[in-house]
């Protein structure tokens, strides 16, 4: 079974630039999550989708972060403009509907904002 795919693996940008991350969940997983993990901390949920609809984006900084899942499969997370404090690993996870307790994570994208 293929896992959750994320790209790029690493990204280095300067502050005020924009960046996008891509995620392809496990086939058949209707629920998709984006988490932000700052060094030394646990992952923090940014947004949750079910199919192509947003279930929870209460912790997404909407002035600079946006995410979409247009066809209910792949998802893109964008930051525009980036700040120094956005340096983190961005993790994508997916699950079957009703099994949000059993998440399957990708390896993440490590973002460094200089």
Q: By CB under 8 A, tell whether 55 contacts other proteins.
A: yes
Q: By CB under 8 A, tell whether 45 contacts other proteins.
A: yes
Q: By CB under 8 A, tell whether 107 contacts other proteins.
A: yes
Residue count, binding to other proteins (CB under 8 A): 27
Q: By CB under 8 A, tell whether 28 contacts other proteins.
A: no
Buried b (16+ CB within 10 A) or exposed e, 58-82: eebeeeebbbebeeebebebebeeb
The torsion angles phi and psi of 28, rounded to 5 degrees, stand at 95, -10
Q: By CB under 8 A, tell whether 91 contacts other proteins.
A: yes
Q: By CB under 8 A, tell whether 24 contacts other proteins.
A: no
Contact 69, 52 (CB under 8 A): yes
34 has which bridge partners?
47, 92
CA gap 96, 102 in Å, rounded:
8
With contacts defined by CB under 8 A, name the span among 12-20, 41-49, 68-76, 80-88 that binds other proteins: 41-49
Which residues sit at the interface with other proteins, rule CB under 8 A? Answer: 4, 31, 33, 35, 40-45, 48, 50, 55-56, 91, 93, 95, 98, 100-108
């Amino acid at each position: 079974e293929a896992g959750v795919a994320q790209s790029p693996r690493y990204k280095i940008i300067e502050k005020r630039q924009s960046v996008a991350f891509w995620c392809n969940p496990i086939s058949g997983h209707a629920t998709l999550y984006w988490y932000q993990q700052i060094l030394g901390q646990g992952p923090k949920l940014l947004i949750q989708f079910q199919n192509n609809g947003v279930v929870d984006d209460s912790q997404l900084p909407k002035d600079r972060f946006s995410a979409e899942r247009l066809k209910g499969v792949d998802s893109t997370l964008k930051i525009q403009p980036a700040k120094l404090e956005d340096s983190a690993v961005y993790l994508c996870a997916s699950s079957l509907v009703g099994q949000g307790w059993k998440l399957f994570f990708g390896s993440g994208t490590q973002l460094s904002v200089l």
